[in-house]
Amino acid sequence: MRFYKLAVIALIGGFVFMSCNDKKADKGVENKAEIETISNDAKEVTGTVETATFQVEGMTCEIGCAKLIEGKLAGLNGVKVAKVDFETKTATVEFDDAKQNVESLIATVEKIANGIYKVENMNVGSIK
């Protein structure tokens, strides 16, 4: 009798576990579609592609700081490429000037982590 109870409990637990995995898989498909949509929007250029290069002060590590800033910048609408080099404390962002502007880039960086990062020496130019 005890064996049957354990078997039933294990069977029910298995069904619950499997149903949770199905929901996670569905979410993954949604997220992939959302990422593809965002990627396609970022690639569609309606204005001039500009490059902003600037120093980011306040970074203390490559993964926690530089990659975080890079990810936030890359996620902005109209940003084609965002790279942050921890060693030189330099960020380079290629963006569509019809969808993004320098002020927004600065605000995005300086808003991260309650304002511990500061943008300095901003240089902007068009890509030809």
Query: pLDDT tens-digit profile of 6-22?
Result: 666 766 655 444 443 33
Domain that holds residue 74: 46-126
Count how many domains the chain has: 2
**Structure confidence at residue 98 (pLDDT):** 93
What integer is the mean pLDDT of 62-89? Answer: 95
State whether 107 and 76 are in the same domain: yes
84 or 9, greater pLDDT? 84
State whether 25 and 53 are in the same domain: no
Please check whether residue 122 is in contact with residue 102, taking contact to mean a CB–CB distance below 8 angstroms: yes
State whether 51 and 35 are in the same domain: no
Output the average pLDDT for the chain. Answer: 79
**Structure confidence at residue 29 (pLDDT):** 41
State whether 60 and 117 are in the same domain: yes
State whether 66 and 116 are in the same domain: yes
Q: Is the pTM of this model over 0.75?
A: no
State whether 64 and 7 are in the same domain: no
Please check whether residue 64 is in contact with residue 112, taking contact to mean a CB–CB distance below 8 angstroms: no
Sheet hosting strand 49-57, strand order edge to edge: 79-85, 90-96, 49-57, 118-126
State whether 79 and 32 are in the same domain: no
**Structure confidence at residue 34 (pLDDT):** 45
**Structure confidence at residue 126 (pLDDT):** 81
Token pair listed for 4 = 């049957």
> The CATH number of the domain where 55 resides is what?
3.30.70.100
